[in-house]
Chain A
Amino acid sequence: MVDISRRRMLAASALLGALPAAPASAEVLHGEAPWTGGAAAPAEAQKQADDDGAYIFFTPIEAAFIEAAAARLIPEDDLGAGAVEAGVPHFIDRQLAGEFGQGTRWYMQGPWAKGEPTQGYQSRLTPAGMYRAGVKAIDTATAQAFSGKTFAQLAVPDQDVFLGQLEKGQINLDGVDAKTFFAMLLQNVIEGFWSDPLYGGNRDMVGWKLIGFPGARYDNTPFVEQHGQAYPLPPVGLKGRPAWTRS
């Protein structure tokens, strides 16, 4: 990389006397449209290959909450796998351990104010911070209401009622807005269920198979005008599909 950009800069300054040599950290493009093969290939592919499956962000208590909540948001039922079977808790763990969890793309400067709902997310917490504080506050709230039990220890009907109250903002959580936390949790569960298997969720493409989404298909030209016909191909991910590598 360094050599390439240095060569470019040398070429640029040689070709165009009117312009001075570039500062070291800017790139000057002159007389070419460069290509850097593989530079943008997803880093996740290698990460997943090295992954032993253990949680790296969630503590055991947090993991128990995530697994219990995910199982209620998208349950395993007669239609098949739910969020847990699809690997959604693992997906969220990896997301929170990575760039998303740190909110690196978000504007995180103060001052902080609650604002109007139309002004969007105004918490000082990053997604990782939101989960850390949210799970703790939820287990504190359930312990008060259900004689010391964590959310994961509640009976399933009680879990459903509690999640419904979180969704509507009917629970006061310490330091966390219940509606904001629930919306983030549900969104991340949905992401883990339907994103490419590259990220650790949607295992064996169970989310895509459930609804009939064929995945990362490149060419639908043969099917676009087959109106009303079932799509004939199975789903495929960015790394292929199990039939390509397993018998």
Chain B
Amino acid sequence: MATKLPSVDALVVGFGWTGAIVAQELTDAGLNVLALERGTWRDTPTQFAPSFDQDELRYFWRQELFERPAHQTVSFRNNADEVALPMRKLGSFLPGTNVGGAGVHWNGQIWRFLESDFVARSHNIARYGKSAVPDDMTIQDWGVTYRELEPHYDRFEYLCGASGKAGNLNGRIQPGGNPFEAPRSREYPNPPLKLSYPPVLFGQAAETLGYKPFPHPAANLSRPYTNPLGVQLGACTYCGFCEKFGCGNYSKASPQTTILPVLMRKPNFTLKTQAEVLKINLDSTGKRAVSVTYVDASGQEFEQPADLIVLCAYILHNVRLLLVSGIGEPYDPNTGQGLVGKNYAYQITSSVNAFFDDKVLNPFIGAGAMGMICDEWNGDNFDHSGLGFIGGGYVGVVQTGARPIETHPTPDGVPMWGSKWKRSIAENYLKTMSVATHGSVMSHRGNHLDLDPTYRDVYGRPLLRMTFDYTANEHRMSDYITDKATQIARAMGPREVKVNKRVGAYDITPYQTTHNTGGAIMGADPRSSVVNRHLQSWDVPNLFVMGSSAFPQNPGYNPTNTVAALAYWSLDAIKTQYLKSPGALLQA
């Protein structure tokens, strides 16, 4: 029997990026806010100290900062003809746990989506005709536009101290920036990072081919910075341990380095750690969330009531909480009925290794978002007529740091072990680089999330079941942009290249990206979306759902900036409308 606790004004479930943003804004609005985090407290000097932070084995291969599948995982299958089996160890994606969530171990790749990304269905049909979007491609418009989100993108970039070069300032194209980006209202708060040799070579080669390379936008700091909350960040030292690691140098934006020093000291904010929410409880009408049930580390259950509940867990947990709480109708891919779990999507990536004889590249020098990028083939930046796909991705060299257990590429034809392999790595390690592609995934009728009929978590709840595969649209797109990556790689003049296309079915084992999206999608119409354009549940108006679960499909950029911008956009509506008159912001 759960112990019932006194009510709070606002309850935040999960304390990563969106949890910290929501708590910061709602405490500013005067609410008494409680955040529940399933994991433990983490702060920079204790957990990510530079005296032990650069430890590839501990943090990446032994996965200290990530979710433990023993505690929570998903089951997975490529399609409904297979039996889903549990993801027994992490691979393809690396959800976070503990305070800061995956915001601690991200790379800091801080992109905005394109204007056309937010109207993917109507835009592509208008430009290419109805046949461009087949019946099984269940893409939708978002119900929010880029122009509405722009101030909120700007807000997050200034919170983080993003380093970059604007390519489009209020409609005026800027030399040195991304000429394809949507208009931004002002320049980045900090100039681009310094660049090591590989991205410079890529940029030079891309320019000779007539492309327009630009520095990757980075939430790694190019210089010391004090953000609008008064929190100070330091300049990045290019140690090459961003992705999958914490930053001991206060140089990568995370909840810890941007918000928590202010938020944690507020009298109207409380954080409870090791408090894992199992269920959202509704009243007898089913239209109001009255509380959550959470369990602490000893196994004791508590009921925590709140006036307003905001889900800020990772996408996979947000969606599962809706499903296990009976909120909304679960999606059925056979009938197309139901919405919760619909339009799960991911990212499709590939790479091209370039091996040089005459260039020392020092690939271990890196930062999570230090790179040069070409955006010619992202979204609808190019004419797709006759190509047989929609969507796209960026192509570039992002030198995140070649940590040797993970990164020791060898050319085609070299065995995978033994003396020849050893010699090849010794000869090539300092002289190789990789051109990467990072592409969109359109949503598809069969790709979805629901509850597994067999496998259970430690609390006896069904695991979330993921059914996902790339479709022909994604493979055609990825092959197309991989050819562009190969062209630029060859133009750099290497001895040889090795092309790593994404072939076959989606495989949950090799690391790709932690860019899972969808399942609680946003939209203008309650018949086709789980949350409205303010991320408010259509079914339960005092429940808001943050995160990439709202993406109706996944564009060709990294999601974090859009996740944060959507949170600020939603909070704007909560603060200016909802709190004055709690209830549905839009009529169903």
Contacts and interface: CB of A to CB of B under 8 A. Distances in A.
A191 B63 CA distance: 13
Nearest to A120: B509
B426 A79 contact: yes
Contact of B274 (A25, A77, A82, A116): A25
Interface in B262-285: 264-267, 269-275
Contact of A216 (B54, B302, B417): B54
Give the size category of B's interface with A: 35 or more
A194 interface: yes
Contacts of B476: none
B32 interface: yes
A223 B84 CA distance: 48
A153 B569 CA distance: 68
A105 B63 contact: yes
A77 B423 CA distance: 10
B50 interface: yes
B18 to A, nearest CB: 18
Contact of B239 (A20, A108, A220, A238): A220
A121 interface: yes
A107 B298 contact: no
Contacts of A137: none
Contacts of B271: 28-30
Interface residues of A, number: 87
Nearest to A116: B82
A202 B463 CA distance: 39
Contacts of A238: 51-52, 54-55
Given A195-B57, A220-B237, A230 B85 contact: no
A75 B425 CA distance: 13
Interface string B78-108: 1000111111110100000000000000000
Given A33-B265, A225-B196, A118 B55 contact: no
A74 B261 contact: no
B76 interface: yes
Which DSSP category, helix, strand, loop or mixed, fits chain A's interface?
loop
Interface stretch (B127-135, B359-367, B570-578): B359-367
A20 to B, nearest CB: 6
Interface in B144-188: none
A198 B57 CA distance: 10
Which DSSP category, helix, strand, loop or mixed, fits chain B's interface?
loop
A122 B455 CA distance: 13
Interface stretch (B40-48, B313-321, B341-349, B522-530): B40-48
A73 B417 contact: yes
Contacts of B51: 41, 238
B399 to A, nearest CB: 9
B429 A211 contact: yes
B267 A220 contact: no
B210 interface: no
Interface in A205-247: 207-208, 210-221, 223-225, 227-231, 238
Nearest to B367: A224
Contacts of B47: 39-40
Given A118-B506, A238-B54, 9 more contacts: A29-B270, A33-B43, A107-B89, A117-B509, A120-B507, A211-B429, A224-B238, A225-B195, A231-B365
Interface of B: 3, 5-6, 8, 32, 34, 40-41, 43, 45-52, 54-58, 61-63, 68-70, 73, 76-78, 82-89, 91, 194-197, 200, 235, 237-240, 248-249, 260-261, 264-267, 269-275, 296-298, 300, 302, 359-360, 362, 364-365, 402-405, 408, 416-419, 422-423, 425-426, 429-430, 454-456, 504-509
6 contacts: A33-B265, A107-B86, A115-B82, A118-B508, A119-B84, A213-B364
Complex A-B, nearest 3 residue pairs according to Cβ-Cβ distance, in ascending order = A25-B298, A195-B57, A211-B429
